[in-house]
Amino acid sequence: MLRSVFTLVLFVVSLSAHTQSYQVSGQVTDEQGNPVPFASIYKQQTGVGTAANSEGVFKLRLPAGNHALLIRAVGYRQAARQVVLDRDTTISVTLHAEAYMLDEVVIGQGEDPAYAIIRQAIRLRKQHLYEASPYTAHVYIKGVQRLLQAPEKFLGIDLNEIGQEIGLDSNRTGIVYLSESESRITVSPPDDFREEMISSKFSGNSRAFSFNRAADLKLNFYENHQPIVDGLSARPFVSPIADNALSYYRYRLLGTAEENGLTIHKIEVTPRRKAEPLYRGNLYIIEDQWRIYGLNLQLTKEAGINILDTLHIRQEYIPLEGGQWQPSSIRFDFAGGLLGFRVGGYFAAVYNDYVLSSALEKAKFNEVLRIGEGVNKRDSVYWAEHRPLPLTEEERIDYIRKDSLQRRRESKAYLDSVDRRSNRFKPQGFLLGGYTYRNRARRWRISTDGLATSVLFNTVEGLALNYGARYVKRVDTLLDREVTVYGNARYGFANKRFNGYLGTAFPLGKSLFNVSGGSNVQDLNNRGALPPLFNTISTAFVGRNYLKLYERTFATVNWRYTLPANVQLTASATWENRRWLPNSTRYTFWERNEPHLTSNNPFAPHNDVPLFDENQSFKLSVGALYDFGTKYETYPHRRVYLPSNWPTLSVNYTKGIAEVFGGDTDYDLVAARLHKTEIGLGMYGRASFDIRGGTFLNSKRLYYTDYRHFKGTQLFVSDQQLSTFLLLDYYRYSTAGSFVEAHGEYNLSTLLTSKVPLLRRLKLQEIIGVHYLHTSEIAHYGEGHVGLEWQRLRVMYARSFGAEADLRAKDAIRIGLRLF
């Protein structure tokens, strides 16, 4: 018995020794002793490794025993170190600049030999894209963003005070974002990707989750195009080994080197044309395998990027079992500036612990991200043990300083002091943007509209004040759920009528409710075709009062619920009293425009007769929406579904019920919609479409406000949305019968304007659009438009065509302002 116990003890001790791990650490420097930032350090023929930080310092935990380490950095000759780990060990590594030798034979008048290498890489691009078997890997990401320069004041705001609150130095510079995350990714190449966040740390907020996502740094140059970051460019970037890369790039062989038994070609990549979404820099290709060994590429303003001045991309690959290669590290360095501000920073990812797997179930990848409970609760001991990129001194101090600031910011005394400053009443702010009073400690706020933006003018009310206020209380921080109470008061100084309503929006279980009631003045076209601000300017200055209004007294309840399959259900019950309103003024700034004014009846412009009698309506509406998406992200206590690559389908049924609550209406309306925006077409831009159709199954009794309306445009300047007709009357073609409307738009995303030197700096995007309408009254009506878009402003030329003589062969120039 004693012998058995002794044997067991020896076994446990030997097992413990066998599984004991130690840390190997050090610094990677060049021949002059300067740090080599973000060098890759990994165990040979495995997926285990790490990377150095921005100061060349690294650490790697490995089991006890002998290990062959390889140390690499783009532009340097690979180094090898043999280490025997029986205790924590420190090593120093010096990397020598790689001497890429250029054979004299290749120097001549013929084609540069780089082209033959690139053709081979292009030929095998798809093979390398699809060759990898499914795998899992551990990813560590660090993101650092710095404010490099800032003015003392911006728009009247003292930035010194704000800088102190967020931990900047006296010059308003320093780290504004520092975050780390660890994730386990599961990949089935080339498209299926799942990420589970293991830990997350955010400087200055222990409850926040890192924005560092492995999916955001998933950059595959074996794909033809790389979108990289939303908003960085109107078009995705062309890979240097894309199928058609030879028409976009020039190549030059800078030299060849032998490394770890491989022949590596260093190739310079330069764009053939300016203002195209193209990289410049160096590409490293392995002889015979014709795969990417590493890359060092840049995107600059010359490539038409937005926001940033430069984005520097470095990526290194390592071999795994079975002959496949995967990234060991990727690093984005960026810099940019605007309006006196300069920013810079980096995101660095380290990949290790690759484990190859057999085929994985497709359904496993429906969940693309999981962030579990407690992920952001790891302590400093955990991070010291698991952080592969050691903190620099600046980063260490930033964590300490921001943690101290966070504790101070969470105190009631501090929150009250912030509220006292921000709650000061400022007449200029109240006039233009409204006023907000906050109580951060109790998580509520009251806000009001800007006085100037609440003033409007129309011929029904004359000068009118339409003023709103809201009370918002956060009731669940984890689920980001709020209760809102809102109200609005409106008074017309010419017709002397007061209207007002109150409402509340609140969560109840997994449902969202919105209950409101009161009275308001509304557009006869319930699609909101003409914004009141545009009508105010048009009526007062031009004498074109296109907006037609009525008074609505109402009570309504709305309900929304999302099923697990991402099917969104809605229902509503609404009682209304509708009253037509006559004009009360014919005022314009210039009397010569008065003859252009029309009545408030769009079908009797010269005679202010009622469009309809005062009536009541009670209607029920139910609907369902599904975007065919199965992908979702899981956070603590909630699930968020992601937009699908498929169109979104919605159906709705509305029933006007007679004799209930005095209802005068009796109709049944069924409508459906299929739409999708921003469909990527690679280098050729993006497309959007919106198709709607339906019919009144029963139209025994209904009024004009119950009709199916369409978005028209009669003003030179309009709020143009995808479903807006550019030449259609706002009211004349609404229907109580069947209808189909279709809208399509193609955005070429600077495909043509980037070729014109005078236009390419403006980054103008070319727009082509078509619109179609069929109703029981209109056989066929269509429009086409072409134009240019800059930011949210567009200039369009539109022309109509159709069966009806009064609708076809119209044309006009339109200025489009996208307000939302």
**Would 61 be classed as within a structural domain?**
yes
HSE value, Cβ hemisphere, 13 Å, CA-based, for 600:
25
**Would 524 be classed as within a structural domain?**
no
Lowest mean pLDDT among 102-111, 471-480, 747-756: 102-111
**Would 222 be classed as within a structural domain?**
yes
Domain final position from 349, 379, 409:
379
SS3 444: strand
SS3 664: coil
The owner of tokens 């009797």 is 604
Element (H, E) at 266: strand 262-271
Copy the structure tokens of residue 816. Answer: 């489009």
Residue 521: the pLDDT is: 97
Residues 120, 84 share a domain: no
Domain that holds residue 55: 20-94
Lowest mean pLDDT among 236-245, 376-385, 719-728: 376-385
Copy the structure tokens of residue 178. Answer: 């520092």
Domain final position from 43, 63, 94:
94
Domain final position from 65, 94, 123:
94
Return d(Cα 548, Cα 543) in angstroms, integer.
14
Residue 109: the pLDDT is: 59
**Would 417 be classed as within a structural domain?**
no
Q: Is the pLDDT of residue 188 over 70?
A: yes
Residue 14: the pLDDT is: 35
Return d(Cα 388, Cα 137) in angstroms, integer.
14
> Could you tell me which residue, 11 or 571, shows the higher pLDDT?
571
Domain count, the chain: 3
Mean pLDDT of 364-385: 87
Model pLDDT for residues 58-113, shown as the tens digit of each residue: 888 888 888 888 888 877 888 888 888 888 888 888 888 877 777 654 545 578 99
Query: How many C-beta atoms lie closer than 10 Å to residue 458's C-beta?
Result: 28
Residues 83, 194 share a domain: no
Residues 136, 57 share a domain: no
Q: Give me the sign of the Cα torsion angle 5, 11, 17, 20.
A: negative
Residues 207, 160 share a domain: yes
User: β-pairing, 21-29 with 89-94?
Assistant: parallel
Nearest Cα neighbor of 549 from 524, 532, 567, 569 is 524
User: β-pairing, 157-158 with 174-188?
Assistant: unpaired
Residues 152, 281 share a domain: yes
Return d(Cα 384, Cα 183) in angstroms, integer.
16
Amino acid found at 774: H
Most confident region among 382-396, 424-438, 697-711 by mean pLDDT: 697-711
Distance of CA 621 to the CA centre of its chain: 32
DSSP states along 134-145: PEEEEEEEEEEE
Nearest Cα neighbor of 242 from 229, 234, 251 is 251
Residues 266, 322 share a domain: yes
Residue 625: the pLDDT is: 96
Residue 105: the pLDDT is: 47
Q: Which residues pair with 90 in a beta bridge?
A: 25
User: β-pairing, 793-802 with 781-790?
Assistant: antiparallel
Return d(Cα 78, Cα 94) in angstroms, integer.
10
CB 601 within 8 A of CB 595: no
For the domain that residue 222 is a member of, what is the CATH number? 2.50.20
Amino acid found at 607: N
Mean pLDDT of 25-45: 83
Mean pLDDT of 453-476: 94
Copy the structure tokens of residue 41. Answer: 């350090």
Radius of gyration of the chain (CA): 32
Nearest Cα neighbor of 150 from 177, 172, 170 is 172
Distance of CA 109 to the CA centre of its chain: 48
Most confident region among 92-96, 211-215, 443-447, 572-576 by mean pLDDT: 572-576
**Would 2 be classed as within a structural domain?**
no
Mean pLDDT of 544-560: 97
Q: Is the pLDDT of residue 11 over 60?
A: no
For residue 476, give every residue at least 6 positions away whose Cβ sits within 8 Å of its Cβ, in sequence order, or none: 507
> Could you tell me which residue, 800 or 415, shows the higher pLDDT?
800
Copy the structure tokens of residue 129. Answer: 């894209």
Lowest mean pLDDT among 303-312, 396-405, 566-575: 396-405
Q: Is the pLDDT of residue 155 over 70?
A: no
For the domain that residue 37 is a member of, what is the CATH number? 2.60.40.1120
Return d(Cα 548, Cα 705) in angstroms, integer.
11
Residues 181, 33 share a domain: no
Residues 331, 186 share a domain: yes
Distance of CA 158 to the CA centre of its chain: 30
Mean pLDDT of 635-657: 91
Residue 4: the pLDDT is: 35
Residues 278, 222 share a domain: yes
**Would 499 be classed as within a structural domain?**
no
Residues 789, 676 share a domain: yes
Copy the structure tokens of residue 595. Answer: 């003859």
Residue 306: the pLDDT is: 84
Q: Give the CA angle between residues 296, 298, 304 to the nearest 5°.
A: 160
**Would 237 be classed as within a structural domain?**
yes
Residues 714, 744 share a domain: yes
- Does this model's pTM top 0.75? yes
Return d(Cα 28, Cα 390) in angstroms, integer.
13
Share of the chain above pLDDT 90, in %: 49
Residues 156, 89 share a domain: no
Lowest mean pLDDT among 2-16, 704-718, 806-820: 2-16
Q: Give me the sign of the Cα torsion angle 467, 473, 478, 481.
A: negative
Phi-psi region of 512 (alpha: psi -120 to 50; beta: other; left: phi over 0): beta
